[in-house]
Structure 1
Amino acid sequence: MNAPQPRWAKYDKSDDLFGTTLRIFRYIGKYRYRIYAGIALSMIASMATLIAPQYLKTMTDLISDGVGGGYMDMKGILGCVTVLAALYSVVAVLRSISAVLIPSASEHNGNIMRKDLNRKISRIPLGFLDRLKIGDVMSRFTNDTDSIRRQSADSIANMLVALTMIVGSLAMMLYTEWRLAIVAVIPALCGFFVVMLIVRRSKKYFVRQARDLGKINTLIEETYYGIDVVDAYNGKGKVREEFVKINDDLYSSALKARFLSSMMPQIMGFISNIGYVVVCVAGSMMVLDG
């Protein structure tokens, strides 16, 4: 008679990513307000970073006009320098505070989750646990819990900050020169679609990597605790063969996942350089045309 496999012992992907994210935030409890504050401060810092280039532009124009006209507006230049110094100081302070708030919330989340898992597993009948693989249970306590601890706040914060930078940068570019903004956005969109294709291909390998890691932890844990049984039944050869197979599967899935994910920075760098060249050429043509 076999016990049904619990949902947490499966490697299925979430059917509702947004709902899962909300559940994690509710689970964090009072510490989620630290994440909210950290995200808000990071977004404000990002907006201040976007405003700064406008003052750099004004200061450059003042210097250029002064060199060409023989009169340097030092008061205007000093005002731009003061504003820039204030903006970058505020950015440094806000990002420092955010760098403390968000990780502290993540660590508290991991602490609470480990305690809850410990209380939960103490209430599960021993006969039910005997039908599960020890290594898989241990993997949930260590690898998966640590992954949630690290990613629960950082990923959401980085995503929102990046979204703020994208929208803000696009707005500032359109405000400065809409034609160059369109030229700059086209390569970025191409890079986005290429990255989406890579992510779609690599996702299955990351799932396999997590599954194979759980299998190898399972085999090691059960072999370690049951080494006397393995010796008694002369099962070392079978265990070794099984370990080699799982290890090869883990190597294959991890290599493919790492290879595909490592392609993204290279491709984005290449597309960024292409976009930089295109913008320079388009800008030069606009200058020549007056």
Structure 2
Amino acid sequence: MSADQDAETTREAARSGARRGPGGGGPMGGMGMPTEKAMNFGESLKRFAALMRPERARVIVLTLSGIVSVALMVAGPKILGEATDVIFDGVVGRMLAGQVPAGTPVDQVADGLRAQGQDQLADMLAGMDGVVVGQGIDTGALVTILAWAVGVYVAAFLFGWWQARITAIAVQNTMRTLRADVEAKLHRIPLSYVDKQKRGEILSRVTNDIDNAAQTATQTLAQLVTSLLTVVGVLAMMFWISWILALVALVTVPLTVVVTAQIARRSQPQFIRQWASTGRLNAHIEEMFTGHALVKVYGQQGASAATFAQENEQLHDSTRSAQFISGTMQPVMGFIGNLNYVLIAVIGGLRVASGQLSIGDVQAFIQYSRQFTQPLAQVASMMNLLQSGVASIERVFELLDAPEQEPDPADPVVPNHGGPVRGRVVFDGVEFAYSPDKPLITGLDLTAEPGQTVAIVGPTGAGKTTLVNLLMRFYEVNAGHITLDGVDVREMTRDTLRGGIGMVLQDTWLFKGTIEENLRYGVRGELSRDEFLAATRACHVDPFVRTLPDGYDTQLDDEGSSLSAGEKQLLTIARAFLADPAILVLDEATSSVDTRTEVLVQEAMHRLRQGRTAFVIAHRLSTIRDADVILVMEHGDIVEQGSHEELLAAGGAYAALYQSQFAAPLASEEEAPAPA
């Protein structure tokens, strides 16, 4: 939408009760901007899981890979515990060789120790089945056990690597689908929704929030699966080794759950504020960058910097609070883990001394206790990422849930049975309002015959641009009908309707690419080089393009900053003519060209309008003198219509507008004092 369109739409919306607030407020102005209330965490996760349903085969594979990887990792400490037992048994067997004859059964040695009153040492020795008096460390058995341990850990690494790879593929495929859904959604939302949003806010949802959600899913999906499986596997091994020590380890679990829940409850609102602040800051930066020249011209650098500082400070505060609160999760979980370690070490040592556990089992159990608390700590720390990611994905879901324009009819009608569009446009009893209680256009009747040029004039906010927006179905009429070649435009698909219409707005739009690519943007079908050059010459584009170093292959940035405003306007005019539409919509299309160029463009427009229905919105009445019909609009109504001469002779609203533009300057010149 052009700057003039946007301004006019804003004023019309204001009069009809839909006034937009600073930066795009209004009845729906806050839509898409998360509030500070707690979001529906569980429902958002379920909805994201539904998005990953097409990847369920990969999710199953990564889960199975995680199970195998975790099972191998869980087996590792038990194997290393056996190696510890082999070493300790060998050391004890060699120590006993100097006290009792080699080969003496361990039971006899234990009985001898009890006879000497050393019951505790006897109990410990009786629990060591692998001790052989006089025999040192069994090197062969130790090497075999260590080889098994290395093999198990290598296999666990390979399955873990495969799990991470599958996770990345599944998540990125889902994000690709999500981005495609968002792109499709942006084509279905009505222009009224876009008008009421900050562009930077929408861009932030499409880029920053999706990227954050992807990063969160990649880092947490496999890790959550692995962590939960590790907890189950390690807990089973702990109960196998010693149910008493396992119960001791479980004592800290309720404390972990309570701490995690409390920290998450306090940090979640901060993450919501963080991403809301990010969207507002991006919107401000985008607006200031787009209009940086005007910011400097009007000396608003200080005000812009102050707004930036305010938004930046809010982002800083919310991010700091979110990260600080969620960051306490890891040290708290570390403290609980250390507390658990101390309890297990003390009780495990006592059970080794009593001969109820081997030292290898205690060593394995201590490792398992670390493995048990580590995934709990990981899950707790992942709440940081998870909350941030869910806050972002919910903002994307809010965009996907935005109201959509009315769908195209299931059985659309094609004007003229698919033949060429003639361009007869009829407004029959059209009514429209931005707000139901304040109508803007009431009972409007208008007929534009094929080949006619219909000029629309009137004060700012009179409804000129709204009239064209209704024709294009950017907005839907509240009552009445608009027909094209006898077919109600609501019975046609939007592509069919807009395919026969070319628009040139006051606000030029060029994309990054060559000049020729920009000119051919709206061309449908084949267009020969001669036809292309003929059109560019008719629009007076060819002469200035040939002065450029690369001619039509000259690269433009997305703002066309290497061209003057008039040259950019000429390109957009030529682009519309190259599209060869049956209907032309020109919204102040010559406002940016100089007087000499305007004359040339008017001549070209007069030639190229032949055979086309043209709607020309103009403030400069000099550009529409040759229009077949001139409509004068005030407050959404057509108050006068006729040719230039007829309206001047009538002495009404058009004559008053004409006099204000031409008579006043002439009078001023006549009244000016003669030079000395």
Please classify the TM superposition score into its range, dividing by the shorter chain length: 0.7 to 0.9
Alignment of 1:1-290 (within 5 A): 1=18, 2=26, 4=28, 8-11=32-35, 14-15=39-40, 17=42, 19-28=43-52, 30-67=54-91, 68=93, 69=132, 70-71=134-135, 76-77=141-142, 79-231=144-296, 235-290=300-355
Counterparts in 2 of 1:129 and 1:289: CA distance versus 1, 3 Å? same
Q: CA deviation at 1:62?
A: 3.5
Contact kept in structure 2, 1:202 and 1:257, CA below 8 Å:
yes
Higher relative contact order (CA 8 A, sep 6+): 1
Asked if the contact 2:274/2:315 (under 8 Å) is kept, the reply is yes
State how far apart, in whole Å, the 2-side matches of 1:247 and 1:257 are: 15
More strand by percentage: 2
Range with greater deviation from structure 2 (2-11 or 165-174): 2-11
Give TM-score scaled by structure 1 length: 0.86
CA deviations on 1:108-166 (whole Å, 9 max, x unpaired) are 22222223322221232333201111111011011111122222354232222111111
SS in 1 for 2:40: coil
Q: Matches of 1:134 and 1:60 in 2, distance apart?
A: 64
Residues 157 and 276 (structure 1), Cα distance of their counterparts in 2 relative to 1, 3 Å cut: same
CA distance in 2, matches of 1:230, 1:3: 28
Structure label with greater radius of gyration: 2
Give the TM-score of the pair, scaled to structure 2.
0.40
Q: Deviations over 1:194-217 (max 9, x none)?
A: 232222211111111111111111
Do the aligned partners of residues 8 and 42 (structure 1) sit closer, same or farther apart at CA in structure 2, a change above 3 Å counting?
Answer: farther
The answer to whether the Cα contact below 8 Å between 2:167 and 2:221 also exists between their aligned partners in 1 is: no
Which is worse superposed, 197-206 or 8-17?
Answer: 8-17
Gaps of 5+ in 1: none
Q: Secondary structure at the match of 1:10?
A: coil
* AA matched with 1:110: M
CA distance in 2, matches of 1:7, 1:157: 34
SS in 2 for 1:4: coil
State how far apart, in whole Å, the 2-side matches of 1:126 and 1:225 are.
Answer: 20
Does the 8 Å CA contact 1:35/1:153 hold for their aligned counterparts? no
Count of matched residue positions in the alignment of Structure 1 and Structure 2:
289
Deviation at 1:232, TM superposition (A): 6.0
Identity of aligned residues (%): 28
Q: Could you list the per-position Cα deviations for residues 30-63 of structure 1 after superposition, in whole angstroms to 9, with x for gaps in the alignment?
A: 4342233123201221122112222223333344
Amino acid at match of 1:10: P
Paired letter, 1:84: A
- Which consecutive residues of structure 2, in runs of 5 or more, have no partner in the other structure? 1-17, 19-25, 94-131, 356-676
Structure (1 or 2) with the greater helix fraction? 1
C-alpha contact (below 8 Å) 2:65/2:160 kept by paired residues: yes
Q: Distance in 2 between matches of 1:29 and 1:196?
A: 28
- The CA deviation at 1:188 is 4.4
How far off is 1:82 after superposition?
Answer: 4.4
Counterpart CA distance in 1 for 2:177 and 2:160 is 26
Aligned to 2:613: none
Q: Secondary structure at the residue paired with 1:80?
A: helix
Q: Using a 3 Å threshold, how does the CA distance of structure 1 residues 176 and 289 change in structure 2: closer, same or farther?
A: same
What amino acid sits opposite 2:246 in the alignment? Answer: A
Cα distance change of structure 1 residues 164 and 28 upon mapping to structure 2, 3 Å threshold: closer
Q: Distance in 1 between matches of 2:220 and 2:150?
A: 30
> What is the rounded CA distance, in whole Å, between the counterparts of 2:271 and 2:161 in structure 1?
32
Alpha carbons of structure 1 residues 168 and 28: separation in structure 2 relative to 1, 3 Å: closer
- Report if aligned partners of 2:33, 2:276 keep a CA contact under 8 Å in 1: no
Aligned equivalents of 1:112, 1:8: Cα separation in 2:
21
Deviations 1:2-47 (CA, angstroms, capped at 9, x unpaired): 4536865435655362x54343344345434223312320122112
**Alpha-carbon distance in structure 2 between the residues aligned to 1:165 and 1:212:** 37
Amino acid at match of 2:201: D
56-65 or 225-234, which deviates more:
225-234
Task: Return 121-130 or 248-257, whichever deviates more.
Answer: 121-130
Decide whether the 8 Å contact of 1:188 with 1:271 is kept in 2: no
| Alpha-carbon distance in 1 for matches of 2:49, 2:182 | 17
Asked whether the equivalents of residues 106 and 153 of structure 1 are also in contact (C-alpha less than 8 Å), the reply is yes
Distance change >3 Å, CA 187–CA 99, structure 1 → 2 = same
Letter in 1 for 2:178: M
